[in-house]
């Protein structure tokens, strides 16, 4: 009697993936996505899933690097104190740093402002076989710049190009760019860590009270917090206009960091499994050469000087 085929990771982990995925089909309202979701998990069970996903990620990354065909771009967006840094640290712990780069995009430099808004993100893209992590990303160019219109003036665009349609045009440019990346072998995974205003307040207080975290706090964080409704509206607009089947958004409940890590890790390993990553196989000519080299090395060991123990 034949065995039933084992479930794929996408099936096994579906409850932590599909409820938070938006691919542009249907309507999207950010308020419909809970920030305090925990699924059916407690911390201990979540840790088990996280550990299993970390092990899978290490194995997939090794094959991704060896195969040297696909690349993976992982985008993290969130409000301040949303948990991006800690999620990256927790999920990617243990992977080979030679095949993974993290890029954190802050205010653009004068050189970056002399280029188009995607330029600095293009030069940071992962090469084949690599995972690239954007801690904040090209989406800042239609988020912070939209909430603070004065920043747009610093980009030195010709005035006639700065119209009421500029944000819609940027959404179109980003969607086209991500489609281009997909067609050239880069998998794009986008995560919005959806934290509540109350949880952000608690995390800010934690930063203020704990000396080891005070360096993370800035008075600008409080200024931006006052613009919370505006940021939420813009994030909703971003997801609505840039979620595509080839590059969906995952709106991750982020009030409980441990659950957010389950969701993020589950999405990543499920998508990597779909790539059917394998170690490259040597051709027949190489195998013949390997056999000759093995024979020579074994012979050398028998007749050569003994190694000192």
- pLDDT number for residue 210: 87
pTM (two decimals): 0.92
Q: What angle do CA 260, 278, 61 make, to 5 degrees?
A: 35
- pLDDT number for residue 214: 86
- pLDDT number for residue 285: 86
Question: What does the alpha-carbon distance between residue 170 and residue 32 come to, in Å, rounded to a whole number?
Answer: 25
- pLDDT number for residue 5: 55
Token digits for 85? 């840094």
* List of E strands, the chain: 21-22, 71-78, 100-104, 131-135, 186-194, 249-253
What CA–CA distances, in Å, run from 34 to 73, 147, 196, 218? 26, 24, 9, 27
Backbone angles phi, psi at 277, to 5 degrees: -70, 135
- The residue ranges of the chain whose pLDDT is under 50 are 1-2, 309
Note the pLDDT tens digit of each residue in 180-226: 999 999 999 999 999 999 999 999 999 999 888 888 888 999 999 99
- pLDDT number for residue 4: 53
Report the interhelical angle of 228-242 vs 166-183 (nearest 10°). Answer: 50
Domains and CATH numbers, the chain: 9-282 (3.40.50.300)
- pLDDT number for residue 171: 98
- pLDDT number for residue 301: 77
Token digits for 307? 């190694």
- pLDDT number for residue 47: 98
Question: What does the alpha-carbon distance between residue 105 and residue 108 come to, in Å, rounded to a whole number?
Answer: 8
């Amino acid at each position: 009697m034949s065995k039933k085929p084992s479930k794929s990771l996408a099936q096994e982990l579906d409850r932590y993936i599909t409820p938070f995925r938006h691919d542009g089909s249907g309507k999207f309202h950010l308020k419909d996505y809970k920030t305090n979701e925990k699924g059916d998990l407690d911390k201990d069970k979540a840790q088990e899933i996280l550990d299993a996903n970390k092990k899978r990620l290490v194995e997939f990354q090794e094959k991704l690097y060896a195969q040297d065909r696909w690349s993976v771009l992982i985008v993290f967006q969130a409000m301040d104190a949303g948990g991006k840094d800690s999620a990256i640290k927790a999920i990617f712990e243990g992977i080979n740093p030679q095949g993974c780069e993290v890029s954190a995009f802050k205010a653009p430099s004068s050189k970056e402002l002399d280029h188009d808004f995607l330029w600095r993100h293009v030069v940071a893209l992962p090469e084949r076989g690599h995972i690239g992590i954007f801690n904040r990303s090209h989406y800042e160019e239609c988020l912070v710049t939209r909430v603070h219109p004065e920043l747009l003036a610093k980009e030195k665009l010709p005035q006639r190009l700065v119209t009421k349609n500029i944000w819609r045009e940027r959404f179109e440019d980003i969607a086209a760019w991500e489609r281009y990346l997909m067609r050239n072998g880069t998998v794009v995974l986008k995560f919005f860590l959806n934290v509540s205003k109350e949880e952000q307040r608690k995390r800010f207080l934690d930063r203020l009270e704990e000396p080891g975290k005070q360096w993370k706090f800035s008075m600008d964080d409080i200024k931006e917090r006052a613009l919370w409704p505006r940021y939420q509206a813009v994030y909703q607009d971003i997801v609505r206009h840039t979620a595509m089947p080839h590059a969906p958004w995952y709106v991750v409940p982020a009030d409980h960091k441990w659950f957010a890590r389950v969701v993020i890790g589950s999405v990543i390993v499920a998508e990597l499994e779909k790539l059917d990553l394998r170690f490259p196989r040597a051709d027949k000519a190489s195998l013949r050469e390997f056999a000759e080299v093995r024979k020579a090395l074994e012979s050398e060991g028998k007749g050569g000087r003994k190694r000192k123990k």
